[in-house]
Chains A and B, each alone.
Chain A
Amino acid sequence: MEPEAAVSSWSAFIGAWDIFRNPLLCALGAGAVLGFLGVFVVLRRMVFVSAGVTQSAGLGVALAFYLDIHLGMHLDPLVGAAALALVSTLIMSVDSGRTIKLPRESLLGLVFALSGGAAVLLGDRISQEAHEIDSILFGSAVLVRTFDLVAVLVSGALILALTLWWLRGLVFASFDPDAARVQGLPVNLLDRTLFVSIGIMVGVSARALGSLPVFAFSVLPAAAVLLLGVRLPWAFALATVLGALAGVAGYLFAFFYQFPVGGSQTVMAGLFALLAILIQVLRGRPLRLALPARARAISPPP
């Protein structure tokens, strides 16, 4: 759906709050939780995992439509997205080299490419729902069903509560799994919990907001915060805030300037990362300028 060209002022926005409430709250909740989980995604170098899972969620939605239209089997697209996201998460979380004899990167590439290709093929056979497929893949949906909003908020709240409760164990098991295992931590359970949390959150969020912004929320806010060099507890908090901010600000930008929602949210998250790079560069400049100064100081006079 496209926003109406006439609707572009705050008063019009507030007047139509009943329409915009769901997508805004959804962007706020999904952005916040994905921003939080994104710290793990970035630090564990799982960015391609996130890309593969979001792509699989898109395939799940396409599959749900296909089953409904061609085989008469009703499957809610949300369930399709969450199910495929979870399956791909579990495939990618296996200890590569043991269960599946492929390096993890190759496995991720397989899931990503296969999911994307299959979604395109299914989309070709369900042309009457093609706009829905676009919405899922690129996040062009303006509206969010109440059912989808509730799914995002409830899943997000549960995942956030669990990961905060287990945070110390998750961090230790994530970054020094062998030592954690030797000390008796349930590393496999912690690892699976993290992967499944990411899979569920990406799945339900992708159905509501689209794969592209969901991928952006799960990577860019955390990348921005980590570029700033803040310590880990602050990184989690700030990435949560930036993720939520990217979701809400992106939606408002799309509304006021008549752009697609998903693209606006993605660009907004990207701008945060670019801003962080700029700050890092500006911080680095005095150091670089100091080098010639020191060099001059030790140079013999002419």
Chain B
Amino acid sequence: MSAHGAPLRCERLVVGYAGQALLPPCDLEIQRGKLTMVLGRNGAGKTTFFRTVLGLQPPLSGRVVRAPDARIAYVGQALSLDRILPLRARDVVAWGLMGGWSFLQRGNGARRAACLRALAAAGAVELGERNYHDLSEGQKQRVLLARMLASQPDVGFLDEPTAAMDAVAEEEATAQLARLAHEQGLAIVVISHVLGLASRFADEIIFLDRDDAVVVNGPPAAVFAHPSFRRQFGALEVHDGA
């Protein structure tokens, strides 16, 4: 575990591409048992920030420190999985059980049971035998959430998990993420565009702003009070999402 007990920490991290920094250096910790939402306008660098923290692209400077035993899982947008891929939902969940070279091991009953447990935790047991591409966007997201849980992560990153959902499904999904973070002690980090959901469900917010060149990190009330945030989004109050 890291010196601070956080499964993942950014130290003077600068993200960008082609040598161009998008944001100033940032220091922050991703903490267990909390739902952290990453906010910012289009082009603010949310995806670049995510990809850098996940190790999918190198930082321009600084570093991302993972606790030695920390497991990370990532869920991209549901639509990014090919629509013609002929898989059952539980086949997609089974991907979450793979890590390193474990794909060389043969399937067994234990793996099937782990998939079922993950589907149950995500409230998606009834979807397991259905074709993944036949599911609604909300159902797909629940299956991808089950895949994330199957990997038993310390930190789960989700890229706009509610992007294709209607308002009701969006709220249910975000509430479910908050519940999972609190009940299972996971660190869950979500990119979102929905400020209302952030104000109701987020425990921590990472606000990225290229215009003012700031990265603001902290509890929602503190971030919402920041001048850059208010300039971008106006005044916002924190509501209790429970």
Question: Which A residues are closer than 8 A to B by beta carbons?
Answer: 43, 165-166, 168-169, 172, 175-176, 178-186, 226, 229-232, 235
Q: Per a CB cutoff under 8 Å, which of B80, B86, B103, B131 touches A185? A: B103
Q: Known: A179-B75, A180-B98. Is A226-B81 also a contact (CB below 8 A)?
A: no
Write out the residue numbers on chain B whose beta carbons fall within 8 Å of the beta carbon of A165.
104
With A175-B82, A182-B55, A226-B84 given, name 13 new contacts (CB 8 A): A43-B84, A168-B103, A175-B85, A176-B76, A176-B80, A178-B51, A179-B74, A179-B76, A182-B72, A185-B101, A186-B101, A230-B86, A231-B131
Write out the residue numbers on chain B whose beta carbons fall within 8 Å of the beta carbon of A185.
98-101, 103
B107 to A, closest residue via Cβ: A168
A178 adjacent to B86 (CB under 8 Å)? no
B86 adjacent to A231 (CB under 8 Å)? yes
Q: Which B62-96 residues have C-beta < 8 A from chain A? A: 72-76, 80-82, 84-88, 91, 95-96
Write out the residue numbers on chain A whose beta carbons fall within 8 Å of the beta carbon of B72.
182-183
Q: Known: A169-B103, A172-B103, A232-B91. Is A179-B85 also a contact (CB below 8 A)?
A: no
A182 adjacent to B104 (CB under 8 Å)? no
B99 adjacent to A178 (CB under 8 Å)? no
Q: Bound complex: CA of A172 vs CA of B96, how far in Å?
A: 9
Could you pull out 23 A-B pairs where Cβ atoms are within 8 angstroms?
A: A43-B82, A43-B84, A169-B103, A169-B104, A172-B95, A176-B80, A176-B81, A178-B56, A179-B95, A180-B95, A182-B54, A183-B96, A183-B99, A184-B99, A184-B100, A185-B98, A186-B100, A186-B101, A226-B84, A229-B86, A231-B91, A232-B87, A235-B86
A169 adjacent to B98 (CB under 8 Å)? yes
Q: Bound complex: CA of A292 vs CA of B104, how far in Å?
A: 51
Q: Bound complex: CA of A21 vs CA of B104, how far in Å?
A: 36
Tell me the minimal C-beta distance from B151 to chain A in angstroms: 6
B75 to A, closest residue via Cβ: A179
B104 adjacent to A176 (CB under 8 Å)? no
Q: Bound complex: CA of A179 vs CA of B158, how far in Å?
A: 10
Which of A172, A175, A182 is the most central at the interface, judged by chain B CB atoms within 10 Å of its CB? A182
B98 adjacent to A168 (CB under 8 Å)? yes
Write out the residue numbers on chain A whose beta carbons fall within 8 Å of the beta carbon of B76.
176, 178-179
- Top 3 A-B pairs, shortest CB-CB distance: A169-B103, A182-B74, A168-B103
Which of A165, A175, A179, A232 is the most central at the interface, judged by chain B CB atoms within 10 Å of its CB? A179
Tell me the minimal C-beta distance from B186 to chain A in angstroms: 15
Q: Bound complex: CA of A232 vs CA of B89, how far in Å?
A: 12
Q: Bound complex: CA of A172 vs CA of B97, how far in Å?
A: 11
B73 adjacent to A183 (CB under 8 Å)? yes
Q: Bound complex: CA of A184 vs CA of B71, how far in Å?
A: 10
Write out the residue numbers on chain A whose beta carbons fall within 8 Å of the beta carbon of B101.
169, 185-186
Tell me the minimal C-beta distance from A231 to chain B in angstroms: 5
Q: Bound complex: CA of A38 vs CA of B39, how far in Å?
A: 42
B98 adjacent to A232 (CB under 8 Å)? no
Tell me the minimal C-beta distance from B66 to chain A in angstroms: 11
Q: Bound complex: CA of A226 vs CA of B85, how far in Å?
A: 9
Q: Bound complex: CA of A168 vs CA of B87, how far in Å?
A: 12
Q: Bound complex: CA of A115 vs CA of B189, how far in Å?
A: 48
Write out the residue numbers on chain A whose beta carbons fall within 8 Å of the beta carbon of B87.
231-232
Write out the residue numbers on chain B whose beta carbons fall within 8 Å of the beta carbon of A231.
86-88, 91, 131
Which of B76, B85, B91 is the most central at the interface, judged by chain A CB atoms within 10 Å of its CB? B85
Q: Bound complex: CA of A176 vs CA of B75, how far in Å?
A: 9
Tell me the minimal C-beta distance from A45 to chain B in angstroms: 8
Tell me the minimal C-beta distance from B77 to chain A in angstroms: 11
Q: Bound complex: CA of A185 vs CA of B101, how far in Å?
A: 6
Q: Bound complex: CA of A226 vs CA of B98, how far in Å?
A: 25
Write out the residue numbers on chain A whose beta carbons fall within 8 Å of the beta carbon of B100.
183-186
Q: Known: A43-B84, A231-B86. Is A183-B56 also a contact (CB below 8 A)?
A: no
Q: Bound complex: CA of A253 vs CA of B11, how far in Å?
A: 68
Tell me the minimal C-beta distance from B52 to chain A in angstroms: 12
Tell me the minimal C-beta distance from B58 to chain A in angstroms: 12
Which of B56, B76, B86 is the most central at the interface, judged by chain A CB atoms within 10 Å of its CB? B86
Write out the residue numbers on chain A whose beta carbons fall within 8 Å of the beta carbon of B80.
176
Q: Bound complex: CA of A178 vs CA of B75, how far in Å?
A: 9
Q: Bound complex: CA of A230 vs CA of B91, how far in Å?
A: 14
Write out the residue numbers on chain B whose beta carbons fall within 8 Å of the beta carbon of A181.
55-56
Q: Bound complex: CA of A195 vs CA of B174, how far in Å?
A: 39
B85 adjacent to A172 (CB under 8 Å)? no
Write out the residue numbers on chain A whose beta carbons fall within 8 Å of the beta carbon of B131.
231
Write out the residue numbers on chain B whose beta carbons fall within 8 Å of the beta carbon of A169.
98, 101, 103-104
Write out the residue numbers on chain A whose beta carbons fall within 8 Å of the beta carbon of B151.
183
Write out the residue numbers on chain A whose beta carbons fall within 8 Å of the beta carbon of B103.
166, 168-169, 172, 185
Q: Bound complex: CA of A88 vs CA of B22, how far in Å?
A: 36
Tell me the minimal C-beta distance from A180 to chain B in angstroms: 7
A39 to B, closest residue via Cβ: B86
Which of A165, A181, A183, A186 is the most central at the interface, judged by chain B CB atoms within 10 Å of its CB? A183
